[in-house]
């Protein structure tokens, strides 16, 4: 099973916005990944927010070179 999952920006937007068509599906996918302790990654800056309900306190920001060294 894969341990590292790349999330497209739209999945994060769906998760954050209950009015988007794929909100429920994206939410279930993210919740499943979190329950399975999978590493979630994105290349977008959408997680930079002051909304405490959206930004996880466990987010760890790393550089692309550190990412490659750690996960590839």
What is the DSSP code string of 5-70?
A: EEPPHHHHHHHH-TTSTTHHHHHHHHHHHHHTT-EEE-SSSTT--S-TTTS-TT-----HHHHHHH
Q: What is the mean pLDDT of the chain?
A: 77
**Predicted pLDDT at 64:** 67
- Domain layout of the chain by residue ranges: 4-71
**Predicted pLDDT at 48:** 56
Sign, CA dihedral 31-59-40-2, equals negative
The whole model's pTM is what? 0.61
CB proximity list for 27: less than 8 A, separation 6 or greater: 14, 15
């Amino acid at each position: 099973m894969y341990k590292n999952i790349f999330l497209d920006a739209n999945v994060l937007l769906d998760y954050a916005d209950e009015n988007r068509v794929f909100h429920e599906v994206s939410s279930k996918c993210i919740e499943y990944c979190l329950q399975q302790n999978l590493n979630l990654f994105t290349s977008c800056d959408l997680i930079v927010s002051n909304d405490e309900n959206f930004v996880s306190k466990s987010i760890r920001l790393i550089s692309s070179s550190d990412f490659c060294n750690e996960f590839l």
